[in-house]
Amino acid sequence: MCGIAGIYNFKTNKEVSPVQLEAMCKVIDYRGPDGHGYFYDNQVALGHRRLTIIDTNERSNQPMQTSDREFTICYNGEVYNYVELKEQLLQRNAEFRTTSDTEVILQLYREQGADCLKSLNGMFAFAVWDKVNKEFFLARDRVGIKPLFYTMTDDGIVFGSEIKSLLEIESVAKQVNPKLIDSYMSVGYCPTNETLFKGIYKLEPGHSLTIKDGQVEIKKYWDMEFDKSQDKGEEYYIDKTRELFEDAVKIQLRSDVPLGVFLSGGIDSSAVVAMMKKLDVKDIKTFSVAWDYGDAFNETQYARQVSEQFGTDHTEYFMTAEDFKDFLPDYIRHMDEPVTEAAAISLYYLAKKTKEKVTVVLSGEGADEVYGGYPIYKYMHVVEQYKRIPKFIRNPLLNPILRLMGTKWAKYADLSEKPISESYSGVSFYEDGAKNRLYTEKFSEQAKRYSNTNNIKPYYDYTDGEDLQTQMQYLDVKTWLVDDLLIKADRMSMAASLELRVPFLDHRFLEFSATMPSEYRFKGYENKYILKKAMEGFLPDEILYRKKLGFPTPLSIMFKGDLYQYVSEIIDCEQAHQRGYFKADEVKRLLAEHKAGKQDHHRILWQLLVLELWHREFID
């Protein structure tokens, strides 16, 4: 796990200035505090910050070259099946100077080119320069666990693990991309391959980018392929889940430094601990974070229960409102784009505490996307059932009654009047009515042109004809998972120089899920049905079947009390109002109603706060 950055002036063949590359790497030095390296070849430059995990010897420093210096790689991540791949390469007479996974990728690319991506099991973003053929290659892992950003300049391309590296290049402008403001206000992050910085892009998961003879080509090398033509029966899917999970955890335990587990006490992280115990891992270290704001924000009793069951060395960290406020400026800087994932701040403090004992940590991230674990799925299934009532009864008679029953019911009434491609935009979607009331008249016109519905349409097009559960989960894998959860996990763990691994996002799980009939992922309104059945016998029912809590943050409470003044001074001021996005009187109303306890507006207040702080940090 590291940080990478680079420049390729393929348009002008202008020699790269070392000052530029070193500045790009320095700004992300926390991603790799154990070492750094640079490679220059006239118009090409690659930079690396190293966090040593596999083969801690200096011989594995990067950028790394083949012995003949024809190929050079700059790589961030872990390829877990490097042991097996190396054995295959040795049988084909490849030579190795290190025991790192980096050299395995380099030798595999030398042999197979872009086709090597099909063999890699892991999380990765890397660049390879082929000096002989003058070919430049970028790639990102199938799921998007590791980030990779790029932008085109007058000279060529600039890329990096984080956007802030790109912003170190003088010619890269810091301009707002208006096409994504409505998306951000709809879901709390920026979906699609664009970013909120105009002209800066994400290399999408499962894609590669090649530059040869001045031509740029982006290719998709992987996606989920849905084929549910065969129902192999419940027992098959249970057994296959156990088999895949055991192997995923087993290969992700490969490390030359100490490792542990983020343990919330929910089924996903508890399952990781249980499987590590089954694999006879000694001295398992587990780590939890919580808020001291009552049971709704504290799962430590369940984490302790799992810790006691498996005899782990357990550490807890309790958050305060001061912790939250103090880290907010750093949170905005680390995230690069505005993301309203409040739990990320708790994750940072947890990662910082964890780093005191280990350098690698496993988590349960991704199980909800693979096995259908979010409560919102239940509600959307209810809405779809409600839609079966004829429109001439539902719209003029029932929906007006629902709207009189309160905000939650009004939301479902609104959803029932739209197709799924417009009503469901992700796990964290915000209702259009409340959002649109905020927009100024001028900005409303822009939002209509660049609506979030249009941005996510390609994902619904891909699953056209599939069942409701499949459509929702695919959208969440491609947007919510990548642009919220995984970017949060990467940024907050790397801010603490900690490597985070996610066994449930082994690509084999996603391929398996894509062939599993939806009734096994979501059966009788029981989320993650097959996963729960697979873990029976490993974990008690109290862990398996309790209500999902997640990683909540007491924003509502803090925004009424300790942080109210801070929030109001940021979002209700002339500087914020002059941006022209939101009506000043509507912002004042939201603050006043929340303070008085008339309505809980913490979510929209948090969105406004993060967006304004982002503008001040990066645009102003």
Q: Residue 436: pLDDT band by 50, 70, 90 thresholds?
A: confident
- pLDDT, tens digit, for every residue of 456-473? 999 999 999 999 999 999
pLDDT tops 80 at residue 439: yes
| Residue 261 contacts residue 272 (beta carbons within 8 Å) | yes
Q: Where are the domains of the chain?
A: 2-220, 234-372+478-544, 376-426
Instruction: State the CATH class of domain 234-372+478-544.
Output: alpha beta
Q: What is the spatial distance between Cα 571 and Cα 564, in angstroms, rounded to a whole number? A: 11
Extended strands (E) in 479-590? 499-501
Q: To the nearest whole percent, how much of the chain has pLDDT over 70?
A: 99
Q: Which of 383, 536, 467, 552 has its CA nearest to residue 528?
A: 536
CB atoms within 10 A of CB 536: 12
Q: Does domain 2-220 have CATH number 3.60.20.10?
A: yes
- Residues 316-372: pLDDT tens digits? 999 999 999 999 999 999 999 999 999 999 999 999 999 999 999 999 999 999 999
User: Which residues does the annotation mark as catalytic?
Assistant: 2
pLDDT digit string, tens, across residues 220-258: 999 999 988 889 999 999 999 999 999 999 999 999 999
Q: Residue 566 pLDDT > 80, yes or no?
A: yes
Q: In what order do the strands lie in the sheet with 200-202?
A: 35-41, 44-50, 2-8, 157-160, 149-152, 200-202
Number of Cβ within a 10 Å radius of residue 203: 20
Q: What is the mean pLDDT of residues 264-290?
A: 95
Contacts of 281 (CB under 8 A, 6+ apart): 253
CA distance 599 to 382: 25
Peptide bond into 178 cis (omega under 30): no
* Residue 408 pLDDT exceeds 80: no
Backbone angles phi and psi of 493, in degrees to 5? -70, -45
